[in-house]
Amino acid sequence: MIDLIRPYIKELAEQTNETVHLVQLDGLNAVYIDKVEASHNSVRLISMVGKSIPLYCSGVGKALLADMKDEKVKEIWDHSEIRKLTDYTVVDFVKFQNLIADVRKNSYAMDNEENELGVRCIAVSLKSSTENPRMPSAYLHRKTGWMTHGWNSLPI
């Protein structure tokens, strides 16, 4: 799967000049299975292939969760160690449900400094031919990137 998707995430990294990740579900977390850094972006992220990230406070996690039934989302929330990692981390389940509803409506998820200050993420869930969520892809960057200036040039 990685070999099939890699050319596309490389192209996305170059078009956006941002880091692009590919993750897959791993229990209560998402695990990075590929990463492409844009060649012209001086910002380097600490993420690495093999590292896990919580579902509740990451764009990729919310993209995966939005493809699940509400009961499964609640079950994962209840079994996760929910803690406020930044001032922006959502730790109230009702507010979190609203975020998941927004993801379902908009077809993309965001991490607005919920996991790490200064880092924002947009994520989309990639489906297999059976429409089951497999791997969300995301691009991450610091606050000074295009996310603070609008969405008009976003290639998704």
Average pLDDT score over residue span 29-45? 74
Question: How many C-alpha atoms does 38 have within 13 Å on its Cβ side?
Answer: 18
Distance set, CA 127 to CA 47, 63, 136 (Å): 23, 11, 8
Does the pTM exceed 0.95? no
* Cβ contact 23:60 at 8 Å: yes
Mean pLDDT, the chain, as a whole number? Answer: 81
| pLDDT at residue 25 greater than cutoff 80 | yes
What contacts 24+ positions apart, CB below 8 Å, involve 104-108? 104/66, 108/63, 108/156
pLDDT in tens, 61-105: 999 999 999 999 999 999 999 999 999 999 999 999 999 999 999
For residue 14, give both structure tokens.
């170059």
Give yes or no for residue 44 having a pLDDT over 60: no
Strands (E), 6-152: 19-26, 29-36, 52-54, 109-112, 119-127, 133-142
